[in-house]
Amino acid sequence: MPTTRETVSIQELLAQRDFARKASELISRRYEHPPLAYVHSFGCQQNQSDGEKIKGMLAQMGYGFTDAPESAQLVIYNTCAVRENAEDRVFGHVGALKPLKKEHPDLMIGLCGCMMQQQSVADKIKNSYPYVDLVFGTHALHLLPELLYRRLSGEKRQFSLPEGNGRIAEGLPVRRDGKIKANLPIMYGCDNFCTYCIVPHVRGRERSRLPKDILAEAQDLAAQGYREITLLGQNVNSYGKGLPEPIDFSDLLRQVDAVPGDFMIRFMTSHPKDCTRKLIDTIAASKKIYHHIHLPVQSGSDRVLAAMNRRYTVEDYLQLIGYARERMPDVTFSSDIIVGFPGETREEFEQTLQLIRQVEYTALFTFIYSRRSGTKAAQMDDPVPAEEKSRWMRELLDTQSAIREKQQEAFIGKTIRVLADGYGKAGEGWISGRNDSNDIVEFKGPGSAIGRFVNVKIERAMNWALFGTLV
Ligand code: 5AD
Ligand code: SF4
């Protein structure tokens, strides 16, 4: 399948900027004070990052922001389609807006993101939720100024679900959610077609941003004083396909690592089939990349992995982990696991338990398989009852908590580096932060520590956090 790399042209972006200007004039005529927008993004970091662009465009149009939908003049839900419960929650939230819209007919309601890129969902909104004003898919993000302007000027409800693979839109304004950590998308879409996954169907084919655009953004973030940059993509390990100059993810990491500034680098998500020894060597030789890899395995059974179209075996995976540990004795791993993939047997599930005991992940993101229509797995027989899958899930969580408890205790007495990122939950005077493997660490300290790398001597461990004192 050829990798396409189409971009939104400067002319199109300028046309949207023009719509933003017209919208901002209309808004300043209509409202005495800047109207408020409530923007909520569900799902993965990629979606959070899209949400920051939505807020960037809205700020350009003169909106302020609020955390309460009741006090907003514009509500936008940026949706996720990866599992059914994420979709159900969105319909629940949209349903709850109906009385609000009745009370304030001026309220604008917009829905976007992965769910909306599916025609069937957009049709359902069109027919059953007549009070929703704007619906735009992931491929139409950059069209928000136009859609909003048209609707604000009294045109009919706006629906935009461009077909095709989605294009790269550089230069959209971004309003970041924090001042300490930033997400930096390096690519969009996915070509892997894991059989359970809806992402390639809603986010289109894989397309990489140019290294110069990524580096300029990293330099800008470093200059603004960001302390952590997370490079984002559905499969960062295949970065670079279809770019004019040959470059792979390791090369890109080396260039970001060389950007001057006091910051650290994370990246997600790595696909084990494309994770190379070169990448591990690059992390080992870098100055700024955490020795922590999110490397989703999904299952510990070769049969299930093949049915998922993951294109690696448990043996391949363990060799990769082994090589990384050889090169970096302090490296840690986290993973995603799917429980109850169609046709998974008890024995196959036990192989997953065996694998997680062997790898000893620092964190697991666990999901019960959710049928997504349009994917290959949706056609497969799925005889295991839901209650049985829930029992397996509890077993998986118990197994992981026992591993976690042992790891947490091993921290006691050790001094570790932590990026302080906010106030703690343990009480007055406590600061919270994260170590290299993203574990929560709380310590007593001044508010001025927030936004800095500090050393903390660990004294106590609970399952949700480590506690210590500032060294
Ligand atoms: N059901 C359950 N989990 C899923 N994931 C993706 N699609 C599904 C699905 N249909 C999980 C995978 C992936 C993570 C982001 O979400 O584990 O790595
Ligand atoms: Fe989905 Fe697989 Fe692509 Fe990840 S790599 S987004 S799980 S298809």
Output the CA 277–ligand 1 centroid distance in Å.
Answer: 26
| CB neighbour burial string for 416-442, b if at least 16 within 10 angstroms, e if fewer | bebbbbeebebeeeebbbbbbbebbbb
Which of 196, 235, 295, 396, when mutated, tests ligand 1's pocket best, judged by the most ligand atoms within 8 Å of its CB?
A: 196
Residue 79 has pLDDT above 60, yes or no: yes
Residue 4 has pLDDT above 90, yes or no: no
Residue nearest atom 2 of ligand 2, based on CA coordinates: 194
Output the CA 189–ligand 2 centroid distance in Å.
Answer: 9
Residues 397 and 429 in one domain: no
What percentage of the chain exceeds 90 in pLDDT?
97
* Span 334-347, average pLDDT: 98
Output the CA 356–ligand 1 centroid distance in Å.
Answer: 17
Output the CA 471–ligand 2 centroid distance in Å.
Answer: 42
Q: Is residue 358 part of a domain?
A: yes
Residues 248 and 375 in one domain: no
- 197 CB under 6 A from ligand 2? yes
Q: Is residue 362 part of a domain?
A: yes
Largest CA distance in the chain: 66
CB 331 within 8 A of CB 293: yes
Output the CA 393–ligand 1 centroid distance in Å.
Answer: 14
Residues 49 and 107 in one domain: yes
Residues 388 and 440 in one domain: no
Residues 106 and 206 in one domain: no
Residue entry with tokens 């090169």: 327
Residue 300 has pLDDT above 70, yes or no: yes
Instruction: Provide the residue type at 46 as one letter.
Output: Q
Tokens of 329: 């004795």
d(CA 93, CA 405): 36
| Total of domains in the chain | 4
Pairing of strands 332-339, 292-294: parallel
- pLDDT tens, 367-387? 999 999 999 999 999 999 999
Q: Is residue 173 part of a domain?
A: no
Ligand 1: atom nearest CA of 371 is 10
The CATH number that applies at residue 93 is 3.40.50.12160
Output the CA 143–ligand 2 centroid distance in Å.
Answer: 26
Report residue 5's pLDDT band, with 50, 70 and 90 as the boundaries: confident
The CATH number that applies at residue 379 is 3.30.750.200
Segment (H or E) for 455: strand 453-462
| Structure confidence at residue 448 (pLDDT) | 96
Q: Is the pTM of this model over 0.85?
A: yes
* Span 435-439, average pLDDT: 96
Higher pLDDT, 161 or 77: 77
| Structure confidence at residue 99 (pLDDT) | 96
- The order of strands in the sheet holding 332-339 is 292-294, 332-339, 363-368
Residues 378 and 392 in one domain: yes
* Mean predicted lDDT score pLDDT of the chain: 96
| Structure confidence at residue 2 (pLDDT) | 47
The CATH number that applies at residue 464 is 2.40.50.140
Q: Is residue 311 part of a domain?
A: yes
Residue nearest atom 4 of ligand 2, based on CA coordinates: 234
Ligand 1: atom nearest CA of 298 is 17
d(CA 44, CA 301): 26
Residue nearest atom 5 of ligand 2, based on CA coordinates: 192
Residues 156 and 52 in one domain: yes
Residue ranges lining ligand 1, Cβ < 6 Å: 82-83, 196-197, 296, 298, 336, 338, 367, 369-370, 372
Residue entry with tokens 């139409």: 140
Residues 89 and 216 in one domain: no
- pLDDT tens, 35-62? 999 999 999 999 999 999 999 999 999 9
Residue 267 has pLDDT above 80, yes or no: yes
Residues 151 and 201 in one domain: no
What domain range includes position 423? 415-470
Residue entry with tokens 């619906």: 135
Residues 35 and 99 in one domain: yes
- pLDDT tens, 86-115? 999 999 999 999 999 999 999 999 999 999
Last residue of a domain, one of 392, 409, 426: 409
Residue 1 has pLDDT above 60, yes or no: no
Residue 167 has pLDDT above 70, yes or no: yes
Last residue of a domain, one of 267, 302, 323: 267
